[in-house]
């Protein structure tokens, strides 16, 4: 009787143990199975973001570290990060004086009686009276002589003139004193004074440069000037036994050789763009414009 009772109690205990132990084990296994895909998905997303290509989450790669990611970005810069070549500012000729190409100037225009067209540049009379006198500052010891200038008024009208004269004080820097014929193309002469903008031109022309020796020139002393040049003249040289000699320029637009060195020999003329023209066969014939058959290039 006692043995039967002990056996029954033992069997009941075993059955209770089985019933109480089984459920917790299944729940734990189910929870672990659900957590594994989430961890795998997260690892895969992180890897793809850093490298751009997915890799197995179980195999870590160097690109997962911050330093490796920085190296990857540096090796593949974006279009915005790629440096662009610097812009080169427009260059201007080093031989130009105050009046420079590709530059707009502000000032005023006035008018004067040009008579036969001669002026301080001593080019001589001219049938073309679309000419002007440059203020003394921008005249710059005759460097402006022969320059072609486009003058534009505030009303939109414009005229191209050639500088043949100087306008002394009270003409201010930027001011151009136009011939009455040229001023009338922009406004009524009665107005007397108008605001303008102006700039240097390198015009189209079929004319060629001429060379003229000044009155009194000889092989002991001479003055030389260039006439009809497309671009302003920067310097004039003569060939001597010691090579090319640059002559000083006067306010009346002649280059002087006080001792006669190079007078009657080869002449070299350079414009503000640096182009050099060598001219031979010009005899010392005072006050005679002798054609050369050459001209500066257009710019």
Residues of the chain with CATH 2.40.40.10: 105-201
What pLDDT score does 93 carry?
A: 60
* Residue whose token pair is 């390198």: 202
Euclidean distance between CA atoms 193 and 70, whole angstroms: 67
Rounded distance between C-alpha atoms, residue 165 and residue 37, angstroms:
93
Burial of 15 (0-12, 13-18, 19+ CB in 10 A): exposed
DSSP-assigned states of every residue in 265-276: S-EEEEETT--E
Where are the CATH 2.60.40.760 domain residues in the chain?
210-291
Picking from 286, 288, 230, the residue whose alpha carbon sits closest to that of residue 263 is 286
CATH entry, 210-291, from 3.80.30.20, 3.30.70.330, 2.60.40.760, 3.40.640.10: 2.60.40.760
Given the DSSP bridges, would you call strands 131-135 and 158-167 parallel, antiparallel or unpaired? parallel
Q: What is the chain's pLDDT, residue by residue, as a tens digit (299 residues)?
A: 434 443 443 444 433 433 344 444 433 333 333 333 333 333 333 333 333 333 333 333 333 333 343 333 333 333 333 344 343 334 456 799 999 999 999 999 999 999 999 999 999 999 999 999 999 999 999 999 999 999 999 999 999 999 999 999 999 999 999 999 999 999 999 999 999 999 999 999 999 999 999 999 999 999 999 999 999 999 999 999 999 999 999 999 999 999 999 999 999 999 999 999 999 999 999 999 999 999 999 99
Torsion of CA 42, 44, 45, 50, to 10 degrees: 130
User: Which of 150, 89, 141, 97 has its CA nearest to residue 271?
Assistant: 97
CA–CA distance, 145 with 166 (Å, rounded to integer):
9
Provide the CATH number for the domain formed by 105-201 in this structure: 2.40.40.10
Q: What is the pLDDT of residue 75?
A: 37
Could you give phi then psi for residue 14, rounded to 5 degrees?
-65, -40
């Amino acid at each position: 009787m006692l043995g039967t009772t002990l056996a029954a109690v033992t069997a009941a205990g075993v059955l209770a143990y089985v019933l109480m132990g089984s459920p917790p084990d299944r729940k734990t296994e189910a929870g672990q199975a659900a957590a594994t895909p989430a961890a795998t998905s997260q690892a895969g997303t992180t890897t793809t973001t850093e490298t751009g290509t997915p890799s197995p989450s179980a195999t870590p790669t160097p690109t997962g570290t911050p330093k490796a990611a920085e190296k990857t970005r540096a090796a593949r810069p974006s279009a915005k990060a790629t440096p662009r070549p610097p812009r080169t500012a427009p260059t201007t000729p080093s031989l130009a004086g105050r009046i420079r190409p590709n530059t707009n100037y502000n000032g005023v225009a006035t008018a004067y009686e040009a008579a036969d067209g001669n002026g301080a540049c001593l080019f001589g009379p001219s049938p073309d009276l679309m000419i002007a006198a440059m203020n003394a500052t921008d005249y710059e010891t005759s460097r402006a002589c022969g320059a072609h200038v486009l003058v534009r008024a505030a009303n939109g009208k414009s005229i191209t003139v050639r500088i043949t004269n100087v306008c002394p004080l009270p003409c201010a820097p930027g001011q151009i004193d136009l011939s009455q014929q040229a001023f009338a193309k922009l406004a009524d002469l009665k107005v007397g004074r108008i605001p303008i903008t102006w700039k240097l031109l390198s015009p189209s022309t079929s004319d060629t440069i001429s060379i003229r020796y000044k009155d009194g020139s000889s092989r002991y002393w001479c003055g030389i000037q260039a006439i009809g040049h497309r671009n302003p003249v920067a310097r004039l040289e003569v060939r001597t036994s010691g090579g090319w000699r640059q002559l000083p320029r006067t306010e009346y637009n002649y280059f002087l050789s006080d001792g006669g060195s190079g007078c009657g020999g080869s002449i070299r003329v350079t414009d503000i763009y640096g182009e050099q023209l060598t001219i031979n066969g010009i005899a010392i014939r005072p006050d005679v414009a002798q054609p050369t058959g050459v001209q500066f290039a257009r710019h």
